[in-house]
């Protein structure tokens, strides 16, 4: 009974996905890489790996900040229950560690990048 209710939603979702996919492909002009912040092919594999690492570290940092916000909300809504406070504090500690790891990762990647490119400025 519930399956029959899902079919129209799935059909609508697939239809919208198809339409927006066609619109996105039509609007994307690949003749200029600068407009889309795509990696320059002349950078080679080094540029691709560098961009991937920067994106991953950005995602980890954003996830850590979101985790910190959620842990703060958990702490505020714990209403004095020791078990909930303990869970919120451990979640906050984990999110702070995540942000610290992300920041250290950015510093290490920038340092290694400067060493490999023989630059002296950080």
Q: How many domains does the chain have?
A: 1
Whole-angstrom distance between the N-terminal and C-terminal Cα of the chain? Answer: 62
pLDDT of residue 84: 92
Question: Two tokens at 51?
Answer: 């961009």
pLDDT digits (tens, 9 = 90+) for 44-89: 777 777 778 778 878 887 888 888 899 999 999 988 899 999 999 9
Judged by average pLDDT, the poorest of 3-12, 81-90, 93-102 is 3-12
CA distances from 121 to 12, 49, 83, 111, 116 (A): 54, 21, 49, 10, 13
Tell whether 77 is covered by a domain: yes
Domain range holding 66?
Answer: 30-116
> Where are the strands (E) in 1-122, listed by range?
none
pLDDT digits (tens, 9 = 90+) for 27-47: 555 555 565 566 566 667 777
The per-residue DSSP string of 73-86 comes to HHHHTSTT-HHHHH
CA distances from 62 to 50, 112, 114 (A): 18, 23, 25
Tell whether 73 is covered by a domain: yes
Tell whether 92 is covered by a domain: yes
Tell whether 3 is covered by a domain: no
């Amino acid at each position: 009974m519930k399956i029959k209710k899902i079919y129209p939603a799935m059909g609508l979702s697939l239809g919208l996905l198809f339409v927006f996919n066609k619109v996105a492909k039509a609007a994307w002009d690949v003749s200029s890489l600068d407009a889309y912040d795509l990696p320059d092919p002349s950078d080679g594999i080094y540029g691709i790996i560098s961009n991937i690492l920067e994106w991953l570290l950005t995602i980890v940092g954003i996830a850590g900040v979101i985790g910190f916000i959620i842990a703060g909300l958990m702490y505020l809504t714990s209403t004095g229950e020791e078990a909930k406070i303990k869970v919120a504090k451990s979640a906050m500690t984990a999110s702070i560690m995540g942000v610290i790891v992300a920041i250290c990762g950015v510093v290490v990647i920038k340092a290694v990048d400067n060493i490999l490119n023989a630059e002296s400025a950080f």
